[in-house]
């Protein structure tokens, strides 16, 4: 046994050597896969429960549309997950995103779990699928930048209207009046949007947002259209578009939302929400090009 020389050093307390902690047990590849699948299933359950909640209550449906208005580039499932975990979120990023912005996530903050596309794989029937991984993102309110946020510059209503009308899916025509007191109407047979002269800015934006959304849906191939009622989908999409750009939404009423979804299965409900999300995204992308013509359109997340 080697001799100990610690006694040569004065005022040194003797310490007891503690054994190192036991190494963590490493999961096998199979157990790891089972664990990750269980986590994905739990997250899917949250999205499914939230889907039922927002389509069963008019207030929650409207709140979900507000979340969708801020995150229309995310998939429908991820928008539901954001709403379920942090409905007031306004700007999201993972650790690396915030670090690149010279911003750091506050200690102890719990990230928002969402799905992100992973690797492609071959199904048993020969088709190609895409695996989904869980990703954690954080709202700006969870970072040290929450007190440094600069207000978004207000865009003039005339500029917003020009952007909304640019590359409209159907020609827009001014008329002196329309039946039933409508401010605007999309005529499917003639493929034209008619607008009454003299509307104020906010009213004109609301009317156009709804009819442009309707025309957007009408131009989709019938076999890919996932909504049962284009009128309701366009109405909900126009609300989200108005909310996104700061247009007054007080006149919107979703009191009958529960009736719209009663008796429909999960796949059908998710298809309806996806149609709303896709319409908002399509209109927002066109508007972004009109508002910022020199900037490249944002990369879109894979729709799921």
Domain ranges of the chain: 152-291
Give the per-residue pLDDT at 298. Answer: 47
Instruction: Report the relative pairing of strands 172-175 and 192-196 from DSSP bridges.
Output: parallel
Ordered alpha helix ranges (H), the chain:
29-54, 58-70, 76-85, 95-100, 157-165, 201-218, 230-244, 257-261, 266-291
Residues 188-206 have a mean pLDDT of 96
pLDDT (0 to 100) of residue 12: 47
pLDDT at 266: 86
Q: Which residues contact 245 (CB under 8 A, 6 or more apart)?
A: 155, 160, 205, 287
pTM value > 0.85:
no
**In percent, how much of the chain has pLDDT > 70?**
84
What are the beta bridge partners of residue 11? none
Residues 6+ apart with CB under 8 A from 291: 155, 159, 160, 163
- Angle 76-85/266-291 helices, nearest 10 degrees? 90
Model pLDDT, residue 20: 57
CA 24 to chain CA centroid, Å, is 38
Per the CB < 8 A criterion, the answer to whether 77 and 266 are in contact is no
Q: Report yes or no: 237 and 213 within 8 Å, Cβ to Cβ.
A: yes
CA angle 214, 227, 120 (to 5 degrees): 115
Joined together, the tokens standing for residue 3 give: 């001799």
State how far the alpha carbon of 100 is from the alpha carbons of 52, 91, 105, 135, 149, in Å.
37, 15, 12, 18, 16
What does the DSSP 8-state code read for residue 113?
Answer: E
Give the confidence band of 264 by pLDDT, cuts at 50, 70, 90.
confident
CA distances 207 to 10, 136, 175, 239, Å, are 87, 38, 14, 10
Segment 246-267 shows an average pLDDT of: 92
> What percent of the chain has pLDDT above 90?
65
Q: Are 105 and 138 in contact (CB under 8 A)?
A: yes
- pLDDT band at residue 10 under the 50/70/90 scheme: low
Per-residue model confidence (pLDDT) at position 15: 47
Helix, strand, coil share (%) of the chain residues, nearest 5: 45, 15, 40
And the tokens for 52? 């039922």
pLDDT in tens, 30-69: 777 788 889 999 999 999 999 999 999 999 999 999 999 9
The pLDDT value given to residue 214: 96
The per-residue pLDDT for range 125-160, each reduced to its tens digit, is 878 888 889 999 999 999 998 677 667 778 999 999
DSSP string for residues in 37-96: HHHHHHHHHHHHHHHHHHTT-HHHHHHHHHHHHH-TTS-HHHHHHHHHH-TT---EE-HH
Q: How much is the average pLDDT of 61-84?
A: 97
The pLDDT of residue 299 is 45
Tell me: pLDDT of 11 over 60: no
Distance of CA 53 to the CA centre of its chain: 17
Give me the mean pLDDT over the 19-25 stretch. 62
Alpha carbon 149 to chain centroid, angstroms: 21
């Amino acid at each position: 046994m080697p001799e100990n020389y610690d006694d040569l050093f004065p005022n040194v307390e003797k310490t007891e050597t503690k054994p190192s902690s036991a190494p963590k047990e490493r999961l096998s590849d199979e157990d790891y896969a089972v664990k990750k699948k269980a986590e994905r299933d739990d997250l899917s359950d949250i999205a499914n429960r939230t889907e039922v909640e927002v389509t069963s209550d008019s207030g929650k449906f409207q709140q979900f549309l507000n979340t969708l208005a801020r995150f229309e580039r995310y998939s429908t499932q991820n928008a539901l997950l954001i709403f379920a975990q942090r409905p007031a979120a306004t700007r999201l990023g993972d650790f690396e995103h915030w670090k690149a912005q010279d911003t750091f996530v506050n200690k102890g903050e719990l990230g928002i779990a969402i799905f992100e596309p992973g690797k492609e794989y071959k199904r048993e029937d020969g088709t190609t699928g895409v695996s989904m991984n869980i990703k954690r993102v954080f709202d700006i309110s969870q970072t040290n930048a929450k007190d440094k946020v600069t207000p978004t510059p207000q865009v003039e209503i005339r500029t917003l209207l020009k952007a909304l009308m640019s590359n409209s899916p159907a020609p827009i025509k001014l008329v002196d009046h329309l039946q039933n007191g409508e401010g605007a109407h999309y005529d499917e047979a003639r493929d034209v949007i008619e607008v009454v002269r003299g509307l104020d800015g906010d009213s004109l934006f609301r009317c156009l947002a709804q009819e442009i959304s309707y025309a957007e849906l009408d131009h989709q191939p019938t076999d890919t259209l996932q909504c049962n009622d284009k009128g309701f989908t366009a109405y909900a999409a126009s609300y989200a578009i108005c909310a996104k750009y700061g247009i007054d939404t007080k006149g919107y009423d979703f009191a009958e939302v529960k009736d719209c979804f009663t008796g429909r299965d999960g796949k059908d409900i998710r298809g309806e929400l996806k149609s709303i999300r896709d319409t908002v995204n399509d209109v927002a992308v066109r508007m972004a090009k009109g508002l910022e013509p020199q900037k490249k359109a944002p990369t879109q997340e894979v729709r799921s």
